[in-house]
């Protein structure tokens, strides 16, 4: 069963989370494989997308935010766009579009960044966002400050957290055809309400050392261990000498699970975005408009009457949020 486990280190401004996606992840892969047109993901793409899904859950676990966290990588290699979307209730979905053949064993730089044009965007799309209000978005290149391509998604996100959130973070991510998993440990903010007790931090230097020790332990986790072991067992192995406070794990109906937010209304909004001329052109060509959701594979069919009605309906829907098919 998929699960998310958050934890704290007693008395230290260090927090963490571990996620293990099993059924939630295999459902993403199964739906893609069932799509006759697109076909199953090549292993390197599945690995990247699984790591993105795990990272999305870990990042959402540490923000007080109602809405969708959307992790996107736009690339100039075989992967053109990869998207993982996680909601506050831990429902998630993910998809990738490919622009060419994917050689076996290919890593992140060759997969999405051979020309140096790859970008990673983190979007927070609030559930209560007012019409016209833009979602928050942070964008980072897939290279470090010196322009050297980062070898892994974990490295890209660590770089992002350090640079834009000022939070030293250690991430370990891994995914295969059965499991997508991740471990995050993070130095909490030095002052303010986010800190333990809410007071300015008195012994920051000592706590920096504590974080460095915990980060080293976290980084010693191998991909094979992360994929094979249950969260509780991993935490015990890594941090048995630390005073760990674990929250109740979120599993099952409360845990990370696959769900798609596509709907006929959202597809209608997308058609409105295309414009009436374009849609009439499609109708002339094939008599109807059929749109498949890339995340879940659901097909939405609009016959000529339905398709034109989209442009005459009085109750116009708000524009489609990012990442929604
Ligand atoms: Zn869908």
Q: What superfamily in CATH does domain 3-258 come from? A: Hsp33 domain (3.55.30.10)
DSSP assigned state of 254? G
User: Once rounded to an integer, what is the mean pLDDT over residues 249-267?
Assistant: 95
User: Which range, of 134-143, 173-182, 187-196, 265-274, averages the lowest pLDDT?
Assistant: 187-196
Domain residue extents for the chain: 3-258, 264-312
User: Once rounded to an integer, what is the mean pLDDT over residues 7-14?
Assistant: 94
Question: Is the confidence at residue 37, as pLDDT, over 70?
Answer: yes
Provide CATH code, domain 264-312: 3.90.1280.10
Distance CA 29, CA 27 (A): 5
Task: Report the range out of 134-143, 154-163, 220-229 with the highest average pLDDT.
Answer: 220-229
- First-residue to last-residue Cα distance in the chain: 28
- Provide CB contacts within 8 A for 131, sequence distance 6+: 318
User: Once rounded to an integer, what is the mean pLDDT over residues 9-34?
Assistant: 96
User: Once rounded to an integer, what is the mean pLDDT over residues 96-100?
Assistant: 94
Expressed in angstroms and rounded, the spacing between residue 264 Cα and the centre of ligand 1 is: 10
The CB density around residue 322, as the number of other CB atoms within 10 Å, is 16
Give the CA radius of gyration of the chain: 21
Cα 281 → chain centroid: 36
pLDDT value of position 218:
97
pLDDT value of position 322:
55
User: Once rounded to an integer, what is the mean pLDDT over residues 183-208?
Assistant: 74
Phi, psi of 282 (to 5 degrees): -65, -40
Expressed in angstroms and rounded, the spacing between residue 295 Cα and the centre of ligand 1 is: 5
Strand 91-98 to 257-258 pairing: parallel
Q: What is the percent of the chain where pLDDT is above 90?
A: 76
Distance CA 279, CA 195 (A): 53
pLDDT value of position 125:
92
pLDDT value of position 163:
84
Expressed in angstroms and rounded, the spacing between residue 325 Cα and the centre of ligand 1 is: 7
Expressed in angstroms and rounded, the spacing between residue 90 Cα and the centre of ligand 1 is: 16
Longest dimension (CA), the chain: 71
> pLDDT (tens digit, 9 = 90+) per residue, 261-301?
999 999 999 999 999 999 999 999 999 999 999 999 999 99
Q: Which two tokens stand for residue 63?
A: 């923000």
- Provide CB contacts within 8 A for 312, sequence distance 6+: none
Average pLDDT over all residues of the chain: 91
Question: Is the confidence at residue 320, as pLDDT, over 70?
Answer: no
Distance CA 162, CA 82 (A): 23
Surrounding residues of ion ligand 1, Cβ less than 5 A: 260, 262, 293, 295-296, 298
The CB density around residue 89, as the number of other CB atoms within 10 Å, is 15
Expressed in angstroms and rounded, the spacing between residue 84 Cα and the centre of ligand 1 is: 13
pLDDT value of position 193:
45
Distance CA 260, CA 299 (A): 13
Angle at which helix 304-312 crosses helix 276-286, to 10 degrees, equals: 170
Task: Report residue 65's pLDDT band, with 50, 70 and 90 as the boundaries.
Answer: confident
The CB density around residue 233, as the number of other CB atoms within 10 Å, is 11
């Amino acid at each position: 069963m998929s699960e998310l486990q958050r934890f704290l280190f007693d008395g230290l401004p260090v927090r963490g989370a571990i996620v293990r996606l099993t059924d939630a992840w295999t459902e993403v892969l199964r739906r893609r494989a069932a799509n006759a047109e697109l076909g199953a993901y090549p292993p390197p793409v599945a690995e990247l997308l699984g790591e993105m899904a795990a990272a999305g859950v870990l990042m959402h676990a540490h923000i007080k935010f109602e809405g969708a966290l959307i992790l996107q990588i736009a690339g100039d290699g075989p992967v053109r766009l990869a998207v993982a979307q996680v909601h506050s209730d831990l429902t998630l979905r993910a998809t990738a579009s490919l622009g060419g053949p994917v050689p076996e064993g290919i890593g992140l730089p060759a997969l999405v960044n051979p020309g140096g044009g790859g970008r990673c965007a983190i979007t927070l799309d609030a559930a209560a966002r007012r019409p016209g209000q833009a979602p928050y978005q942070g964008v980072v290149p897939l290279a470090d400050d010196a322009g050297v391509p980062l070898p892994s998604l974990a490295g890209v996100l660590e770089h992002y957290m350090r640079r834009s959130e000022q939070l030293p973070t250690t991430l370990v991510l891994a995914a295969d055809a059965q499991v997508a998993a991740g471990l995050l440990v993070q130095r909490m903010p030095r002052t303010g309400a986010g800190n333990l007790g809410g007071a300015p931090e008195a012994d920051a230097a000592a706590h920096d050392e504590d974080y460095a020790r915990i980060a080293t332990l976290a980084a010693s986790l191998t991909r094979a261990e992360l994929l094979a072991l249950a969260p509780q067992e991993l935490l015990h192995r890594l941090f048995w000498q630390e005073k760990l406070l674990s929250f109740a794990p979120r599993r099952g109906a409360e845990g990370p699970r696959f769900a798609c937010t596509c709907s006929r209304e959202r597809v209608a909004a997308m058609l409105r975005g295309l414009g009436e001329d374009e849609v009439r052109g499609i109708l002339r060509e094939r008599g109807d408009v059929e749109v498949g959701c890339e995340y879940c594979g659901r097909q939405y069919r609009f016959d000529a009457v339905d398709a034109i009605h989209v442009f005459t309906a009085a109750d116009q829907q708000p524009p489609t949020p990012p990442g929604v098919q």
